Amino acid sequence: MTKSKKNGILLTLICISMIIWGMSWSSAKVMGRYGDALTIAFVRFGVVVFMLLPAVRLFKLSYKIERSGWKYLLSASLFLGLYTTAFFRGLQLGNAGAAGVLVTTLNPLFAFLIGVVVSKVVPKKQALVGLFIGLLGGAFLLELWDNFDAVFQTGNLLFIAAAFLWAVLSKITSLSKFYAHPITFSFWLHLVVPIGMLPFVNFDDVLHLFEIADATFYWNLAYFGIINSSFATVTYLVATTIIGAEKASTFIFLVPISAILTSYFTLGESIEGHTVIGMVLGVSAVMIINKTNE
């Protein structure tokens, strides 16, 4: 298989993952109604580990991580744990739609800034133009001119923090390729996080969660833990090791678009003019940035 064909398959999988991520915001919002953020996050990680354990063997990979790679694993685990907690807590306090736009619009910006600071790589002029267009698209999706004050509500501040935490996580995982296969690294990453959570988890809350759980909870747990995390998130983390955190993060501009289209087709929600403009700008940003970084 040629390199261009492999890249084409990878980019297709990333786009599919972004669609899945877009659908996950509402799913996570529903899960947040059943328990506190830490409990939900802990259970979700358990599902992901259960799925990734056989995946390592399925792809005939080793579970081994080189000793020098553990510093990346532990630091990535810290940021993933903080991100997940901020994510679920933010959804409990804020709006899922605002979360989808804030996190996915700011994350590429943070990723580029971290790349400049850590890797000393200054984005090309056209890439900066694409980044600006993506941010502008997010402003249109949020109707920022009418909702600027709402950005600084508690829930939204957690979403902004989540965007930064995910950008740092992306940069760390992009460096892990020298020490383990991305899928192996993802397995250990999702295992170490819940182990680190153990001292803070109230297992009475975990038991209560499963006592009140119904079909809706289990469906959303399966979607968020298996489809969203085990496939989409791992695909994204693999992509960071191949094309870099900065370039991979630009695809996140597609997430709010998929969320809006999903709500239109499944819930019958209307799509307004500013939304269409925001979606067009988001797609344009991804195309411009990835074209200039080929």
pLDDT at 110 over 90: no
pLDDT at 66 over 80: yes
Query: Which pLDDT score, from 0 to 100, does residue 243 have?
Result: 81
Question: Number of structural domains, the chain?
Answer: 1
Query: Which pLDDT score, from 0 to 100, does residue 195 have?
Result: 94
Instruction: Let me know if residue 150 belongs to a domain.
Output: yes
Instruction: Let me know if residue 7 belongs to a domain.
Output: no
- The Cα 44–Cα 122 span in angstroms is 37
Instruction: Let me know if residue 280 belongs to a domain.
Output: yes
Q: Nearest 5°: phi and psi at 269?
A: -70, 145
Q: Nearest 5°: phi and psi at 262?
A: -65, -45
Instruction: Let me know if residue 60 belongs to a domain.
Output: yes
Provide mean pLDDT across the span 278-287: 78
Lowest mean pLDDT among 20-34, 35-49, 264-278: 264-278
Query: Which pLDDT score, from 0 to 100, does residue 155 have?
Result: 63
Instruction: Let me know if residue 167 belongs to a domain.
Output: yes
pLDDT at 292 over 60: no
Instruction: Let me know if residue 109 belongs to a domain.
Output: yes
Task: Give 219's pLDDT tier (boundaries 50, 70, 90).
Answer: very high
Instruction: Let me know if residue 12 belongs to a domain.
Output: no
pLDDT at 151 over 70: no
pLDDT at 21 over 70: yes
Task: Give 188's pLDDT tier (boundaries 50, 70, 90).
Answer: very high
Task: Give 178's pLDDT tier (boundaries 50, 70, 90).
Answer: confident
Task: Give 263's pLDDT tier (boundaries 50, 70, 90).
Answer: low
Mean of the per-residue pLDDT values of the chain: 81
Provide mean pLDDT across the span 78-94: 81
Q: By the 8 A CB rule, do 131 and 289 touch?
A: yes
Task: Provide the H-helix boundaries in 94-233.
Answer: 96-119, 125-142, 144-147, 154-175, 182-197, 203-212, 215-222
Instruction: Let me know if residue 10 belongs to a domain.
Output: no
38-57 pLDDT, tens digit per residue, is 898 899 899 999 988 888 88
Prediction pTM value: 0.78
Provide mean pLDDT across the span 8-24: 84
Provide mean pLDDT across the span 124-150: 77
pLDDT at 174 over 80: yes
244 contacts: CB under 8 Å, gap ≥ 6 = 115, 174
221-262 pLDDT, tens digit per residue, is 999 888 988 888 888 888 888 888 777 877 877 777 777 776
Query: Which pLDDT score, from 0 to 100, does residue 206 have?
Result: 94
Task: Provide the H-helix boundaries in 32-124.
Answer: 37-58, 70-93, 96-119
Task: Give 267's pLDDT tier (boundaries 50, 70, 90).
Answer: low
pLDDT at 209 over 80: yes
Lowest mean pLDDT among 72-76, 267-271, 272-276: 267-271
pLDDT at 294 over 60: no
Query: Which pLDDT score, from 0 to 100, does residue 198 have?
Result: 92
- The boundaries of the domain holding residue 134 are 37-292
Closest to 259 (Cα-Cα) out of 15, 18, 16, 11: 18
